[in-house]
Each structure stands twice: as structure tokens, then as C-alpha cells.
Amino acid sequence: MVVNWNPLVNTNLCLDGEYSAEDNRISIKFDSGKERFLVRNSYAPMVFPSLSLELDNTKRIAIDNENTELKQFKQWLFEDLRHGTLPFYAPRIMYKYQTGIYEFISMPEYDETDGTVIATFGLRELGFFDHTLFLATNLGQYIITNTGHYITIKPERGKNENNNY
């Protein structure tokens, strides 16, 4: 189960330090002393050990007049993510038009200054996907959109006319 990011909390994550890909290599040493590396997986997860998120603790959120952005974040973290144990969807860090799947590697620590709270935590990227949207028109055409561009595809006549796939 993957949880969506709370829409009442901003997604302006700041990278506070270094980041890296997890080691995705297997090392093989030969008797001659040479060393070769093989790829373990086709995807090496990115690790962001130090991220920060600025949360407002003064304004009430219009939809939920009882809670601030900080309270919404904590409620999402503890209730929806079950104390940070479930992965979640969020905009992919350092990329546009992609959504990442993340898990917490360190729980947030909070530093409050003048009604603004800085939450500092670490994330591991488990995967990602592009924003591609498929729409069907009433003319039997399919429109594929990605980053604002579209391609129209007409199905062949005689196939799938009865929606039998």
C-alpha cells in the first residue's frame, strides 16, 4: 500500500546536504588482483539523508479551519503513514513531470522559529513514474498526453468494435 501526499501540505522540499544512489554494484575479485563490478539491479534508489520542509504553524487551513499545515503534516505522518512505516507518493525530487515513491529513513525533527516550523528528515526513493495521461474521446481515438503535448491514435477499423479486447 502506498499513500498519497497530503494535499494540504506543501511539497517544497529543500535538499540540505549530499545525496547519492545506493550502491548498486556487485564486486568480483580475480586471482590476478583485478576487480570487476556488475550491476545488481536496473534501478538504484536515491537516498536523501537530509531534507527540510518549511511548514506554517500560524495560519489555519481554509478547508479545515481547526488545523495548521504543521498539524496536517503530523496527522498524515502518524495516521495515514502509520508513524512513517508506509511508503508514499510525492513529486520526484530534482525532476519535473515525475512522481516518486518514497519512504522515511529518519523521522522528522522540528525546529520552530516565528510561527514557521522546519521539519528535517531523510527519505529513500523506492521508484518513480512519468506523468502520462491517457484519454479516450467519443470518436474512438485515444489521446496520450505527457508534459502538455499530445498524440492522437486512431484504432484500426474492425478491431475492438464491440469492446472485446
Work out the average pLDDT over 127-136: 67
Query: Which pLDDT does position 165 carry in this prediction?
Result: 45
Short-list 52, 72, 77, CA closest to 60: 72
Under 8 Å between Cβ of 153 and 144: yes
The bridge status of strand 142-146 relative to strand 149-153 is antiparallel
Of all residues in the chain, what percent carry a pLDDT higher than 90?
37
Residues 18-39 have pLDDT tens digits of: 777 766 677 889 899 999 887 7
SS3 labels along the chain: CCECCCCCCCCCEEECCCCEECCCEEEEECCCCCEEEEECCCCCCEEEEEEEEEEECCCCCCCCCCCCHHHHHHHHHHHHCCCCCCCEEEECCCCCCEEEEEEEEEEEEEEEECCEEEEEEEEEEEEEEECEEEEECCCCCEEEEECCEEEEECCCCCCCCCCCC
Q: Is the pLDDT of residue 70 over 70?
A: yes
Q: Is the pLDDT of residue 121 over 90?
A: yes
0.85 exceeded by pTM: no
- Per domain, the residue ranges of the chain are 13-22+39-130, 132-165
Q: Is the pLDDT of residue 160 over 90?
A: no
Residue 1's pLDDT band, with cuts at 50, 70 and 90, is: confident
Distance CA 109, CA 1 (A): 25
Residue 98's pLDDT band, with cuts at 50, 70 and 90, is: confident
Q: Is the pLDDT of residue 100 over 50?
A: yes
